[in-house]
Amino acid sequence: MTKVAVLGGSGYAGGELLRLLLVHPACEIQTVTSRQYAGEPLYRVHPNLRGVSMLKFQKPSPDVVSNCDLVFLALPHGKSASIVPDLLSRGMKVIDLTADFRLKKLADYKEYYGWEHEHPELLKEAVYGMPELHRNEIKNSRLIAVPGCMATATILGAAPLIANGLVDHGRIVVDAKIGSSGAGITPTIATHHSERSGSVRPYKVTGHRHVAEIEQELNALASQEVNVAFTPHAVDMVRGILATIHLYMKQNLTDKDIWKVYRSRYGEEPFIRMVSDKKGLYGLPNPKVIMGTNYCDIGFEIDPHSNRIVVFTAIDNLTKGAAGQAVQCFNILHGLDERTSLSQYPPHP
């Protein structure tokens, strides 16, 4: 039984992580921290956990993790970098849900996040926690950086076509739509219900921070440098992401050609589902039918008029886009079935 701590457990990603870990047969939560809610029971912040656990939030300190084997970090971006070296020096493994160790290039933190990294020596060691691309590295890592949610949706959708050199690497256009939970638990004027409901709002139209992750991971698969144009939209739903990825073919491809590429890379993946159904209600990926799960649904259509493949990916931003992917990495790290604690099916409708 692995003893774990969750630092920063009062946010949405932290709450989703607790939901998954509390029923995990191979881990035991020792402590959950929160400065604001120290002393309060978990269900005071996460009402879905009422009757599930008697744990209370604790004030963060080095002592609260002293008996842990592994620490999950669900802190705000920029807060993990300063504490990870101490955790590693004490022999603990770390799965970090923040952006602090996702990027390999030091300069990218200044450009995309606006701060200097405190411990750049750990950037090379940190493993990008996307099992579909880095499973073997995750197995032996002591520091795993869980990918960003919109980066996850985009990378998983584009990776097979990029890796096989079938599309123009210099022209990748992504339109991502995300639910309000992606903005975090602290409300702002822009995330206020009366402003968000009934609207579709583009934001950070250029230079979004997830571009750095997307290009980093796709470049590692490509024969030449990729260029990604990425624009997110805030939409009127609570959870979920739908990424529409426009890729331009280098040669004429058929549906059969593309299916073969995706099946070759993802055919054995437990959480990738290919969706292309001409008869069903949801003939292409839709976030509605993957809520609360670790699935990533992928579908596509060919547009011969513009020589384009339109790829669609749907994930739950809090599960496959954060906590679920973290638990999947935990399972790989400990030699467990990757589906452990992640095998639930989504409800419908």
Together in a domain, 235 and 276:
yes
Q: How far does the chain reach from its first CA to its final CA, in angstroms?
A: 37
Number of compact structural domains in the chain: 2
pLDDT computed for residue 264 by the predictor: 97
Taking only the tens place, the pLDDT of each residue in 140-180 is: 999 999 999 999 999 999 999 999 999 999 999 999 999 98
Strands 57-58 and 2-7: unpaired
pLDDT band, very low/low/confident/very high, at 109 (cuts 50, 70, 90): very high
Together in a domain, 271 and 156:
yes
The helix (run of H) or strand (run of E) holding residue 145 is strand 143-145
Please give the Cα distance from 334 to 138 (Å, whole number).
10
Q: Is residue 339 part of a domain?
A: no
For the cut 80, the answer to whether the pLDDT of residue 191 exceeds it is no
- Quick one: three-class SS letters along 154-179? HHHHHHHHHHCCCEEEEEEEEEEEEC
Q: Is residue 341 part of a domain?
A: no
What mean pLDDT is predicted for residues 294-306?
Answer: 97
- The catalytic residues are 149
Taking only the tens place, the pLDDT of each residue in 233-274 is: 999 999 999 999 999 999 999 999 999 999 999 999 999 999
Together in a domain, 262 and 328:
no
Residue 246 is part of which domain span?
A: 150-317
pLDDT computed for residue 193 by the predictor: 81
Together in a domain, 171 and 259:
yes
In this structure, how many other beta carbons lie within 10 angstroms of the beta carbon of residue 143? 20
Together in a domain, 176 and 119:
no
pLDDT computed for residue 196 by the predictor: 81
Q: Is residue 343 part of a domain?
A: no
Could you give the 3-state DSSP secondary structure of residue 8?
A: coil
User: Domain holding 139: CATH number?
Assistant: 3.40.50.720
CB 346 within 8 A of CB 324: no
Q: Which residue has the tokens 């796709």?
A: 218
Mean pLDDT of the chain: 95
Q: Dump the DSSP string for 235-303.
A: -S-SS-EEEEEEEEESS---HHHHHHHHHHHHTT-TTEEE---SSSS-SS--GGGGTTS--EEEEEEEE
In the 8-state DSSP scheme, what is residue 120? Answer: G
Q: Evaluate the omega torsion of the peptide bond into residue 76 and state whether it is cis, within 30 degrees of 0.
A: no
Together in a domain, 270 and 329:
no
- Quick one: three-class SS letters along 306-319? CCEEEEEEEECCCH
Taking only the tens place, the pLDDT of each residue in 48-83 is: 999 999 999 999 998 899 999 999 999 999 999 999
For the cut 90, the answer to whether the pLDDT of residue 324 exceeds it is yes
What mean pLDDT is predicted for residues 312-334?
Answer: 98
Task: Write down the pTM of the prediction.
Answer: 0.96
Together in a domain, 170 and 305:
yes
Together in a domain, 265 and 310:
yes
User: Domain holding 199: CATH number?
Assistant: 3.30.360.10
Please give the Cα distance from 130 to 159 (Å, whole number).
12
Q: Is residue 61 part of a domain?
A: yes
Q: Is residue 346 part of a domain?
A: no
Together in a domain, 263 and 329:
no
Together in a domain, 266 and 324:
no
Q: Is residue 109 part of a domain?
A: yes
pLDDT band, very low/low/confident/very high, at 281 (cuts 50, 70, 90): confident
Dmax (CA) for the chain in angstroms is 62
Strand 70-73: give its sheet, edge to edge: 57-58, 27-33, 2-7, 70-73, 93-96, 143-145, 127-128
Q: Give Cα separations from 229 to 24, 209, 232, 279 (angstroms).
A: 39, 12, 10, 32
Q: Is residue 342 part of a domain?
A: no
Tokens representing 186?
């602290």
pLDDT computed for residue 159 by the predictor: 98
Together in a domain, 239 and 312:
yes
CB 292 within 8 A of CB 216: no
Q: Is residue 340 part of a domain?
A: no
Please give the Cα distance from 312 to 201 (Å, whole number).
20
Please give the Cα distance from 10 to 16 (Å, whole number).
10
302-236-154 Cα angle (round to 5)? 40
Together in a domain, 236 and 121:
no
